[in-house]
Homo-oligomer: A and B are copies of this chain.
Amino acid sequence: MKFFSDNAATVHPRVWAAMAAADAPDHGYDGDALSRRLDAAFFDLFGQPATALWVATGTAANCLALAAMVPPWGGVVCHREAHIETDEGGAPGFYTHGAKLILAEGDAAKLTPDTITAAIAPIRDDVHRVQPHAISITQATEYGRVYTPDEVTAIGALAQARDLWLHMDGARFANAVAHLGCHPAAITVDAGVDALSFGMVKNGGMGAEAIVLFGEARETAMVDSIHRMRKRAGHLQSKGRYLAAQILALLDGDLWLENARAANQAAAELAAAAGERLIHPVESDEVFLVVDPAEAAALRAAGFDFYDWNPPAGAPGAVRLVTAWNSNPDHVAALARAIAAL
C-alpha cells in the first residue's frame, strides 16, 4: 500500500488508448497532427489564446519557461522551499546559464506580495546586483497548499507593476483547480500568469507535461526562443505524437480534473483521520503529519509505505503521504483507520 508519490502511479487507461491510437506514421518531432492540436486544446480549456509545447518532465517545463523569461545575468524570485530551488539538481542554473534564484519566504511555501517585495526591494538597480526578471510560484505548493484566485491575482499585479514575468509551476495544477472549483483561467491567464508548467505525469500521464504560454508571453520572441531551447536541450522528441496524445487524452472530457478530484478526495479522507496531527491544511493530494518514529514504524509494519519528512520545530517526527488518481479506496480507508488509531 504505497503512498510514496503520485509520480509512482500508473498510467490512466484513456491515456494508454490515446497513445495506441497515435501509433501510425506521421510527421516527426512536433509536426504531427496531434502536436499541432495542442494550442487549440489549451485555448479551449483556458478560454484565451495559448501556445503550448510538450516536454517529458516538469523540470524541463519549469526550466525552459524560466530560461525564456530571464537572461543569464538576471534572477527569478521563488520560495526558498520551491521545487526549482531544492529538488531539480540545479536545472534552473543549467537552463538559464547561471541566473540566480532569489529566495523569498512564506508559510507552507506560499509567496505573497509582501514576501516577494521583501526579497526584491533591497536590490539596488546597478550592475553589481542581480536584478529580478520573473517570479515563480508553485500551485499547489510543495506542501500541498493552494493559491486562491485572489492570491495569484495579487502576485500578478505586483509582477506587472514591477515589470516581472510570472511563472507557475503547476506540477499539481490539476489538484489546485479541483480544490478551488474555479475556472483554470482564474488562477492563470486571468490572474497575470504568463507561463504555466501544466503537470500531467503525476495525474495519470506517462511522460508528457505541457508548457503553456499566455498573453504577452506568447506574442513575443519568447515563443521562438523556447522552441529552439527545447531542441537544444534534447527535449524535442522525434515521436512527439505520443506525448501530444497523452496531453490531449487528459484534457479530453476533463479527465485531468476527474483524476485530480479522485486524488484530492483520498487525501481528504486521510486528513480527516489525522486531526491534530496535520501540519498543513490538506488542499491537494499531499498530507503532512506529525508522527513519531515509533508510530511511523508501526504504520510501515502494517504495510503502508511513505516517506519521512523534516518535522516542524519541536515535533518528534513527520511523514508525507501522497495519494494519486488511482489510489485504492480500500488502502486509503485502511490507512485512515490506522492513523486514527495511533
Contacts and interface: CB of A to CB of B under 8 A. Distances in A.
A43 interface: no
B5 A24 contact: no
Contact of A28 (B7, B20, B238): B7
24 contacts: A4-B27, A4-B28, A5-B238, A8-B25, A8-B238, A8-B239, A16-B20, A56-B235, A59-B234, A61-B234, A63-B234, A64-B234, A72-B90, A73-B89, A75-B90, A89-B130, A90-B130, A91-B231, A91-B232, A93-B98, A94-B232, A127-B228, A128-B231, A233-B233
Contact of A237 (B27, B130, B207, B225): B207
A232 B86 CA distance: 12
B16 A233 contact: no
A57 B201 contact: no
Contacts of A73: 89-90, 94, 225, 228-229, 232
Assembly stoichiometry (copies) = 4
A73 B11 CA distance: 31
Interface string A107-142: 000000000000000100001111000000000000
A290 interface: no
B56 A207 contact: yes
A96 interface: yes
A61 B238 CA distance: 14
A54 to B, nearest CB: 11
A99 interface: yes
A57 B74 CA distance: 21
A330 interface: no
B23 A11 contact: yes
A26 B5 CA distance: 10
Interface residues of A, number: 73
Interface string A266-285: 00000000000000000000
B57 A28 contact: no
A242 interface: yes
A2 interface: yes
Nearest to A80: B103
Interface string A52-71: 00011111110110000001
